Amino acid sequence: MSELRSADEHADDPNSRVIPFPSEASTPQIAFNREELRTIFNLYGRRVSEGEWRDYALDFRRDKAVFSIYRRSSEMPLYRIEKDPKLARRQGAYAVIAAGGLVMKRGHDLARVIAVLERPLRAV
């Protein structure tokens, strides 16, 4: 059985090198903040009460945060609300993407972007 050696003992060995484990502080995870979630859940709650949406999923990745909306939990998402900070200075950090991959709206203001998912008002 081989014995364990410290990294200092391998400093002279050209075939060995120490690779530090990436810390979570160096690669932050993108997430929606409290205000963004409140805006999204207000819309989501209205559409659930209308019976159109039934499920959602939150996905926080290293490059973007995604809120997926489902009609049924066994299907593909109807819409995805994405927050991608890399696009914040160009097209806007927020986007609503339809099931087929079509970007329905993109912008800097979340409330204006998700307004595309609001039902139009009808005359009664």
Share of the chain above pLDDT 90, in %: 49
How far is residue 69's CA from residue 54's CA, in Å, rounded to a whole number? Answer: 8
What number is the average pLDDT over the span 88-94? Answer: 88
| Residue-level pLDDT at 5 | 58
How far is residue 84's CA from residue 102's CA, in Å, rounded to a whole number? Answer: 16
pLDDT band at 16 (very low <50, low <70, confident <90, very high): confident
What number is the average pLDDT over the span 32-59? Answer: 93
DSSP the chain: -PPP--GGGGTT-TT----PPPPTTTSPPP---HHHHHHHHHHHHHHHHTTS--EEEEEE-SS-EEEEEESSTTS--SEEEEE-GGGTTTT-SEEEEETTS-EEEEES-HHHHHGGGSPPP---
Return the minimum-mean-pLDDT range out of 13-17, 79-83, 94-98. 13-17
Per-residue pLDDT tens over the stretch 106-124: 999 999 999 999 877 677 7
What is the rounded average pLDDT for all residues in the chain? 84
